[in-house]
Amino acid sequence: MAYPANYKYTKEHEWIDLNGAKALVGITDYAQNSLGDIVFVDLPKVGDMLEAGKTFGSVESVKAVSDLYSPVSGTVTEINEALKDAPEKINADANTTWMLKLDVTNPAELEGLLSAADYEKFISEETGH
């Protein structure tokens, strides 16, 4: 699976799509594939302040519960309400199914994230493929 080149990625398998000071955040296709069938998503509330590298929620699958980590610091401006009733949307298309929207407070934090090519290399090293 190709990872969108305009996104940045974390080693915890989140992606961020930045547009000015606004961003969409989701999990990668690798993450959803590793989790299996996603049955529940726990997301923060609109107005919550997120801190780069800190947990902001969790994803529950038939296999496990995994924490979600914010790629950057910012304020939650919207959550994807559709995921409450249909968390499996993430399994169907993780690269375009956003979980939340953020007003990014420190765009320089993006410099510490992985490019698509670096993320693919990281996964191959992690999985040995």
Per-residue pLDDT of the chain (129 residues; tens, 9 = 90+): 589 999 999 999 999 999 999 999 999 999 999 999 999 999 999 999 999 999 999 999 998 999 999 999 999 999 999 999 999 999 999 999 999 999 999 999 999 999 999 999 999 998 776
| CA–CA distance, 99 with 112 (Å, rounded to integer) | 21
pLDDT at 34: 94
Residue 17 belongs to domain with CATH number? 2.40.50.100
In a domain, 28, yes or no: yes
In a domain, 121, yes or no: no
In a domain, 125, yes or no: no
Burial 51-88 (b: 16+ CB within 10 A, else e): ebeeebbebebeeeebebbbbbbbebeebbeebeeebe
Domain of 72? 13-104
Number of domains in the chain: 1
In a domain, 114, yes or no: no
pLDDT at 128: 79
In a domain, 120, yes or no: no
| 93 token code pair | 């298309």
In a domain, 126, yes or no: no
pLDDT at 1: 59
